[in-house]
Amino acid sequence: MNSYETRIGMAKKKMEEAEYILLGGGAGLSAAAGITYSGKRFTDHFGPFIEKYGFSDLYTSSFYPFETEEEKWAYWAKHITLNRYELGATKLYIDLFQLVKDKSYFVISTNVESQFVKAGFPSDKVFEIQGDYSYLQCEKGCHDTLYDNELWVKEMIANTTDCKIPSKLVPTCPVCGGEMDVNLRKNQYFVQDEKWAESDKLYKNFLQESEGKKVVYLELGVGFNTPGIIRYPFERMTYHNENATLIRLNREHPEGFEETEGRTIAFTEDMQQVVSAFMQ
Ligand SMILES: [Zn+2]
Q: What is the C-alpha to C-alpha distance for residues 14 and 156, in angstroms, rounded to an integer?
A: 48
User: 198: CA distance to ligand 1 center in Å?
Assistant: 23
Angle between helices 4-17 and 271-279 (to 10 degrees): 50
Which residues are within 8 A (CB) of 141 and not within 5 positions of it... i.e. 6 or more apart?
188, 189, 190, 191
- Expressed in angstroms and rounded, the spacing between residue 124 Cα and the centre of ligand 1 is 28
| Contact (Cβ atoms closer than 8 angstroms) between residue 76 and residue 16 | no
- Give residue 157 CA to ligand 1 midpoint distance, Å: 24
> In tens digits, what is the pLDDT along the chain, a chain of 280 residues?
789 999 999 999 999 999 999 999 999 999 999 999 999 999 999 999 999 999 999 999 999 999 999 999 999 999 999 999 999 999 999 999 999 999 999 999 999 999 999 999 999 999 999 999 999 999 999 999 999 999 999 999 999 999 999 999 999 999 999 999 999 998 999 999 999 999 999 999 999 999 999 999 999 999 998 999 999 999 999 999 999 999 999 999 998 877 787 899 999 999 999 999 999 9
Calculate how far, in angstroms, residue 112's C-alpha sits from the geometric centre of ligand 1.
22
Q: How far is the CA of 44 from the centre of ligand 1 (A)?
A: 35
Secondary structure (3-state) at 106:
strand
Complete DSSP assignment for 199-210? HHHHHHHHHHHH
Rounded Cα distance, 257 and 263, in Å? 10
Rounded distance, CA 112 to CA 114, Å? 6
174 alpha carbon – ligand 1 mean position (Å): 7
- DSSP conformation letters of 39-92: THHHHHH-HHHHHHH----TTGGGG---SSHHHHHHHHHHHHIIIIIS----HH
Q: How far is the CA of 274 from the centre of ligand 1 (A)?
A: 45
Ligand 1 center–CA 67 separation, angstroms: 20
Distance 76 CA to ligand 1 centre (A): 19
| Ligand 1 center to 140 CA (angstroms) | 6
For ligand 1, the distance from its centroid to the CA atom of residue 135, given in whole angstroms, is: 14
Which residues have C-beta within 8 Å of that of residue 236, sequence separation ≥ 6?
Answer: none
Ligand 1 center to 37 CA (angstroms): 30
Secondary structure of residue 116 in the 3-state scheme: helix
- Would you state the pLDDT for residue 134? 96
Distance 172 CA to ligand 1 centre (A): 8
Closest C-alpha to 115, from 184, 29, 42, 196? 29
Cα 145 to ligand 1 centroid, rounded to whole Å: 10
- Residue 196 has a pLDDT of 97
Tell me the CA–centroid distance for residue 204 and ligand 1, in Å.
30
CA 196 – ligand 1 centroid, Å: 19
Per-residue pLDDT at 1: 75
Distance 160 CA to ligand 1 centre (A): 25
Q: Which domains does the chain have, with CATH numbers?
A: 1-35+89-130+192-280 (3.40.50.1220), 36-86+132-184 (3.30.1600)
pTM (2 d.p.): 0.94
Tell me, in angstroms, the distance from the centre of ligand 1 to residue 271's CA: 41
